[in-house]
Amino acid sequence: MFAGRTAHVTAVRRKNNEISFFEVPRQDKAWVKRLGRIPFIRGLVAILDASAKGSRHLNFSAEVFAEEEGVPKEEKKGWTDNLTMVLGVAIVGILSFVFGKLIFTLVPAIVEQLLFGKAFDNNILHNLLEGGIKILLLIVYIYSISLTPVIKRLFQYHGAEHKVISAYEAGMELTVENVQKFNTLHYRCGSSFIVLTVLIGVVIYSFFHYDNLWERMLQRLILLPFVIMVSYEFLRFTNNLRDTPVLRVLGYPGLWLQLLTTKEPEDAQVEVSIASFNRVRELDAQFEQRTSS
């Protein structure tokens, strides 16, 4: 899946080797665009928007897979039902992100409190241990799911996307041979954001005192949106520094996590990623021609 200025595009390969596209125009409401330009607020807007749209694209992939496997598809009952389905998928995507974020926010705090809560009174050290538990939990979770064939293939496509972007940014012709020369790691990746929320959270939580587990959990819930907003801005900052030899190390933690969330893709997977990216460029070019004429 790639996002352009005018649309989000997902490409999937069918059993007959035909590549099908799912295109979602970028038709954000005016108030959403305004919020998307406000520092810090834009972080929450971007994350919720990505969760909603990402779920729609995953739903399309699942539908194509079911169709290819011969699973009967329910007849559509009309425009209203289709709209309801689209909204439902988007809401599920947002709720899934929120629920997952709550789990990875609260569980480490609970575990650290149970294990070390009475060992010492240094809140900063407690926060550091909580952050360590959170990263360990994240690594174990990602590694465990990466062992399943479906997720491994998903991570291969993730790696293919990064290779295509890197080849394009390097000015290379987008051929399978050229794209495969590049690394699966890339600075502008959601994996970097996940790590940053952990590290930024440790710093932010250190400014607040708590007396018991319930206060600690409530504090984490209240501060979670703020952690997300600051992490998003810091990610934008590190992206701008990726070409600065000394300061580019700020993005390394996210790149290290991508060693788990990306896998080396097959040539066929790179072909699909190239097709998706080229379709995005084609739609953007068509929009520019319409607006300039």
DSSP state letters, 220-270: HHHHHHHHHHHHHHHHHHHHHTTTSTTGGGGGHHHHHHHHHH--PPPHHHH
Cα of 66 vs its chain's centroid, Å = 24
pLDDT of residue 78: 41
Other beta carbons within 10 Å of 41:
15
User: Which pair of structure tokens corresponds to residue 258?
Assistant: 């991508």
pLDDT attached to residue 62: 74
Rounded average pLDDT per 10-residue block, the chain, 293 residues: 87 89 79 79 80 75 74 49 43 54 84 90 90 90 90 92 95 96 87 82 88 89 90 80 68 85 95 95 88 74
pLDDT of residue 128: 92
Q: Are 187 and 254 in contact (CB under 8 A)?
A: yes
H or E segment to which residue 68 belongs = helix 41-68
Tell me the C-alpha distance between 143 and 259, whole Å: 10
Judged by DSSP in three states, 173 sits in: coil
Three-class DSSP category at 13: strand
Contact 24, 288 (CB under 8 A): no
Question: What's the confidence (pLDDT) of residue 48?
Answer: 76
Q: How far apart are CA 192 and CA 91, in angstroms?
A: 24
∠ CA 49-53-56, nearest 5°, is 155
pLDDT score at 72: 62
